[in-house]
Amino acid sequence: MTRQPAVARRAEQLLGAAVVSTSPVAGGDISTATKIRLSDGSLVLMKALSPPRDDFVAAEARGLRRLEESGAVKVPEVLAAEPDCLVLRWIEPGRPTAETAEELGRALARLHSTPVSGFGADQDGFIGRLPMPNKPADTWAEFYAVRRLLPYLKAARDRGAIDAAGAESVEQVVGKLTSLIPEEPPALLHGDLWNGNVLWDRSSEAWLIDPATYAGHREVDLAMLALFGLPHLERMMASYEEETPLAEGWEDRQGLHQLFPLLVHAAMFGGGYGARAATVAARYL
């Protein structure tokens, strides 16, 4: 058994329990993750940030608690949230099954049925390591344009990750959003629901992690899962639609709602994400 002294001391301060062992957890480019075994045999995950980021930690903890309050989906319990770290109950990873993917579909349908008012949120958040504006707007088309597409299009252009022609295609799509996306009541979203933020436990049940919650169009969460390849996606979507059917033509609109994560990835990582966003945007012109 290993024991990282600084990590152990901080966990003991926050949790009031002795640490038996610690081990690093791979993955993540924002925080340093450590699996910690406590003297009572329980396991926790500490995500440490250096330098401390109170706004970042608070946003993640707030999102997890909001999802938990919905009663619709499973999320790790927040044990401590301080500027330098977030401590969560450990979820032992496993593998999904088609049946538990179906249950995830029903759970997401319940999450998206959680009563919320207006598009946006009371506080801004983060998507990955980028700031995410959440100032409310009256319609989804307005919110999606000015809070999701245009800010990350600018960030991608500033990075040189999308060329002028590609940016123009996205801007033209922004001008057409009111006719391309049917209005729906706002839904409570996870907000950053790519495959890596769905954690399957040893019983194959799905837990949602690393949220960026706000009230938005429910197709955004579903489009992001499709973009990054959730296992058993078709089974999940079928059970979702049994619970709460989507508006006609949702398959054709997936690309519209994938523009947001594609532009975020272009702004953060560059690569081919900007060109991919431009290609997607061109379908709707």
106 with 68, same domain? no
51 with 182, same domain? no
Domains in the chain, number:
2
Q: Catalytic residue numbers?
A: 192
- pTM of the predicted structure, to 2 decimals: 0.95
pLDDT at 2: 66
Question: Of the candidates 57, 89, 121, which is a domain's last residue?
Answer: 89
Q: What string of pLDDT tens digits covers the 285 residues of the chain?
A: 567 889 999 999 999 999 999 999 987 678 899 999 999 999 999 999 888 888 999 999 999 999 999 999 999 999 999 999 999 999 999 999 999 999 999 999 999 999 998 999 999 999 999 999 999 999 999 999 999 999 999 999 999 999 999 999 999 999 999 999 999 999 999 999 999 999 999 999 999 999 999 999 999 999 999 999 999 999 999 999 999 999 999 999 999 999 999 999 999 999 899 999 999 999 999
Question: Of the candidates 89, 113, 146, which is a domain's last residue?
Answer: 89
139 with 158, same domain? yes
268 with 176, same domain? yes
Question: Of the candidates 59, 89, 119, which is a domain's last residue?
Answer: 89
166 with 243, same domain? yes
55 with 188, same domain? no
181 with 243, same domain? yes
106 with 54, same domain? no
50 with 181, same domain? no
pLDDT at 54: 84
pLDDT at 26: 85
End-to-end CA distance of the chain: 59
How far is it, in rounded angstroms, from Cα 222 to Cα 251? Answer: 10
58 with 136, same domain? no
129 with 240, same domain? yes
pLDDT at 1: 53
pLDDT at 50: 84
125 with 207, same domain? yes
Q: Which CATH number belongs to the domain containing residue 29 in this structure?
A: 3.30.200.20
Q: Which CATH number belongs to the domain containing residue 170 in this structure?
A: 3.90.1200.10
pLDDT at 253: 96
Tell me which amino acid residue 54 is. Answer: D
Residue numbers of the domain that contains 142: 98-282
